[in-house]
Amino acid sequence: MKNTLINYIEFKARDLGAIKEFYHKTFGWVFTDYGPTYTAFSKSGIEGGFETTEEEITNGVLVVLYHENLKEIKNDIIAEGGKVTLDIFSFPGGRRFHFTDPSGNELAVWSDK
């Protein structure tokens, strides 16, 4: 994987069963469940996932970048005017954090290191 390329996209969903059925039947996407609140998809052109939410979905997609050194890229983001909205945390497969750019768009950066 190369640093700072879009690597993954994450959507919000109210009903994982319904969303998996829709995207599989409509577009042929394949799903892998990671617990009751998350499913990853493949065969879509880019890897991604759906996370359940009870909140109103206003911006239903999270673009996830890859970087091998989360502390380094986090410092670069802050230095250029970005704001960390969710600090580095672990998840199955790696670690990540969320940030907003100077216009308020939320993105995330993950690493398997």
46-82 residue pLDDT tens: 999 999 998 888 778 899 999 999 999 999 999 999 9
Tokens representing 93 are 């497969």
Tokens representing 74 are 């986090």
Domain boundaries, the chain: 8-61, 67-113
CATH of 8-61 among 3.10.180.10, 3.30.70.20, 3.65.10.10, 2.30.30.100: 3.10.180.10
Question: What is the value of pTM for the model shown?
Answer: 0.77
Q: If pLDDT is split at 50, 70 and 90, which confidence band does 35 have?
A: very high
Residue 87 host element (H or E): strand 83-91
Tell me, which fold does domain 67-113 have in CATH?
2,3-Dihydroxybiphenyl 1,2-Dioxygenase; domain 1 (3.10.180)
Return the number of other C-beta atoms located less than 10 Å from residue 86's C-beta: 11
Tokens representing 31 are 């799903």
Spatial distance between the Cα atoms of 110 and 72, rounded to a whole number of angstroms: 12
- Note whether 8-61 and 67-113 share their fold: yes
Burial of 76 (0-12, 13-18, 19+ CB in 10 A): middle
* pLDDT for residue 102 is more than 90: no
Q: What is the average pLDDT across 5-27?
A: 91
Write down the pLDDT at residue 27.
87
